[in-house]
Amino acid sequence: MANLSKGVVHTVFFWLKEKDNEAHQQALHEGLLELSKIDLIKNAYIGRPANTNRPVIDSSYSFSLTFVFENAADQDAYQVHPDHYVFIDKCSALWEKVLVYDAEG
Amino acid sequence: MANLSKGVVHTVFFWLKEKDNEAHQQALHEGLLELSKIDLIKNAYIGRPANTNRPVIDSSYSFSLTFVFENAADQDAYQVHPDHYVFIDKCSALWEKVLVYDAEG
C-alpha cells in the first residue's frame, strides 16, 4: 500500500450563484488559492469538474477543494483560522450552496 | 502556495445497503485497501465520516476514497484497470449508492 496516506480529508464543493459569470469564477478561484496557503493544511488541491461523464458522477459544482490535514485537531484549528474567515467574508456572497465531506482514515 | 498540488482528484462516497453490518463494513474496507494499491494512483486516502457536525456536512456515507492522479489519462486508465474490476465484482453488492466527483486542478 505504497500509495495510501492517513489523515483527515476535508472536501468542499461550491456552487456559484452565477455559474457562468467569469468574474465570479475568478474571484472564487483566487480566494481558494489564498485559502490553500494556510499552513495547517498538509496537502491542498483546488479543482473544477473534470471532463468525465458517467451517471454516478456529479459535475454540477463550480469549484472544489480537497484539503488534507494531519489530524482532526488541525482541521478544527483551520476552521477558526483568521484567513479562513477572510475567505468566507470575501467569497461567501458568490456561492449559493456548499457541500462538505470530512473523512478520517 | 507551498501546499497546493496539481492533479485529478477522484473522490467517491459509498453508502452501504446495511450500514451497521460490521462484516460488510470490513469487506468494503478491505476491498478499498486493495484498490488503493493500483500503481496509477499518486496519492490515496480511504476514510470514514469524521466526527464533525455542521449543517453543510454530509456524513451519511459509510466509506470514502480520495485518489489523486497525475493527469486525466491516468484516471482513465485506472477506470479500466483489471484490479478495479476485481474490486467492483467483489464489493458492488454491498453498496446501495455511490457518488463520484472528479476534479481537475
Q: Cell 466527483 appears where?
A: B101
User: Which residues are within 8 A (CB) of B23 and not within 5 positions of it... i.e. 6 or more apart?
Assistant: none
DSSP A4: B
**What is the model's pLDDT at position A3?**
80
DSSP B35: H
Please tell me if residue B57 touches chain A, with a CB cutoff of 8 Å: yes
Residue A54, number of CB atoms within 10 A of its CB = 9
Quick one: cell of B96?
Answer: 446501495
Report the candidate in A49, A34, A17, A22 with the shortest Cα–Cα distance to residue A83: A34
Q: Give 10-residue mean pLDDT values along chain B (105 residues).
A: 85 98 98 97 97 94 98 97 98 98 97
Q: What is the mean pLDDT of chain A?
A: 96
CB contacts under 8 A, A 13-32 vs B, are: 13
Rounded CA gap, A98 and B84, in Å? 30
Taking the CA of residue A74 and the nearest CA in chain B, the distance in Å comes to 13
How confident is the model over A63-97, as pLDDT tens digits? Answer: 999 999 999 999 999 999 999 999 999 999 999 99
**What is the model's pLDDT at position B1?**
44
What percent of chain A lies above the pLDDT cut of 90? Answer: 97
How confident is the model over A16-74, as pLDDT tens digits? Answer: 999 999 999 999 999 999 999 999 999 999 999 999 999 999 999 999 999 999 999 99
ipTM reported for the complex, 2 dp: 0.95
Burial of B89 (0-12, 13-18, 19+ CB in 10 A): exposed
